[in-house]
């Protein structure tokens, strides 16, 4: 202990430099149309993620395209959530899941600081999202999406969905799928602590192979949920981008990294539409 105090201890290894995945988009004639960047919505305090290549894309883009442009307007997002989430006469939350999930659901409700009665009028999808927040290991205020919105103040920002449309996707799920979503969140809560940190490391390293595997696990292992939350949204976004990219100056398209991984993700879909999509980081 004395030797360690005098400086004899082996220093902690330096963490690897960040290299989150970034792609360049060019049209068929070689015109630069913009960049694709997969984001992560929560990060611990002090997490570094910006790189020279990403800084160049941020500086070179005239437009930022995100899922929701008004993320910082928490009151507006909360108002949309509250309006869509509440329907009187809901079954008790524990009654909406099979018996094997109920003990873990009760533990998760308590851990999240709620009581069972708090969900008396809350639809199953909304309860799932509320409880999922307690599992996030980082701070949404540190999310990459919010940081990019701050960097683009004074420049145009476009949204692919907006809060209303995004939350409506959950709201329009059949009740059986909403309950599957809730059960998946409960199962996530039973995993060892550190899951969020593991995903953040994958993202920071730009490990798209590992992230693609995640797209078929957890709640996305359910085919109906994966289709609604990932596949159909990617297809719609690719169609929107194919219309807007030729008309607009270079854009930085920054959406959740799950939408960038796999054969039905945005890089692959834009490639099919005739764009050259090259990973540059």
As a whole number of angstroms, the distance between CA 182 and CA 122 comes to 12
- Using CA atoms of 215, 210, 47, 65 in order, give the dihedral in degrees to the nearest 10: -50
pLDDT tens for residues 179-204? 999 999 999 888 876 677 888 899 99
Write out pLDDT tens, residues 243-265. Answer: 999 888 899 999 999 999 999 99
Cβ atoms of residues 244 and 253 within 8 Å: no
Pick the range with the lowest mean pLDDT from 8-12, 32-36, 199-203. 8-12
DSSP, residue by residue, 141-195: GG-HHHHHHHHTTTS-EEESS-HHHHHHHHHTS-HHHHHHHHHHHHHHHTSPTTH
- Give the pLDDT band of residue 1 (cuts 50, 70, 90): very low
pLDDT at residue number 215: 85
The pLDDT assigned to 137 comes to 62
pLDDT of residue 183: 96
Predicted confidence (pLDDT) per residue in 54-81, tens digit: 999 999 999 999 999 998 898 999 999 9
* Candidate from 3-7, 115-119, 206-210 with smallest mean pLDDT: 3-7
203 to 21, 34, 40, 251: CA distances (angstroms): 8, 21, 7, 22
Distance CA 207, CA 21 (A): 8
Q: How far apart are CA 133 and CA 138, in angstroms?
A: 10
What is the Cα 54 distance to its own chain's centre? 19
For residues 93 and 279, what is the distance between their CA atoms, to the nearest angstrom?
Answer: 44
Residues ≥6 apart with Cβ < 8 Å to 115: 109
Contact (CB, 8 A) for 224 and 180: yes
Distance CA 31, CA 55 (A): 20
């Amino acid at each position: 202990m004395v030797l360690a105090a005098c400086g004899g201890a082996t220093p902690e290894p330096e963490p690897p430099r960040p290299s989150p995945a970034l792609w360049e988009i060019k049209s068929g004639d070689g015109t630069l149309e913009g960049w694709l960047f997969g984001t992560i919505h929560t990060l611990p305090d002090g997490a570094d993620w910006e790189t020279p290549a990403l800084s160049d894309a941020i500086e070179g883009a005239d437009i930022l395209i995100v899922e929701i442009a008004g993320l910082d307007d928490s009151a507006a997002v909360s108002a949309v959530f509250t309006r869509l989430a509440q329907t009187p006469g809901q079954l008790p939350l524990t009654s909406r899941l099979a018996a094997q999930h109920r003990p873990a659901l009760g533990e998760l409700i308590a851990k999240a600081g709620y009581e069972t009665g708090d969900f008396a009028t809350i639809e199953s999808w909304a309860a799932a999202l509320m409880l999922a927040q307690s599992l996030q290991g980082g701070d949404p205020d540190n999310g990459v999406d919010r940081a990019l919105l701050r960097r683009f103040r004074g420049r145009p920002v476009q949204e692919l969905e907006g809060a209303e449309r995004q939350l409506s996707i959950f709201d329009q799920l059949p009740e059986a799928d909403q309950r599957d979503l809730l059960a998946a969140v409960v199962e996530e809560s039973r995993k060892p602590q550190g899951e969020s940190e593991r995903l953040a490391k994958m993202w920071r390293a730009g490990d798209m192979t590992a992230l693609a595997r995640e797209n078929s696990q957890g709640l996305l292992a359910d085919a109906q949920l994966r289709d609604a939350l990932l596949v159909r949204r990617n297809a719609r976004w690719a169609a929107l981008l194919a219309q807007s990219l030729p008309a607009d100056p270079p854009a930085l398209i920054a959406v959740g990294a799950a939408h960038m991984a796999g054969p039905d993700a945005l890089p692959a879909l834009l490639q099919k539409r005739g764009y050259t999509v090259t990973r540059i980081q």
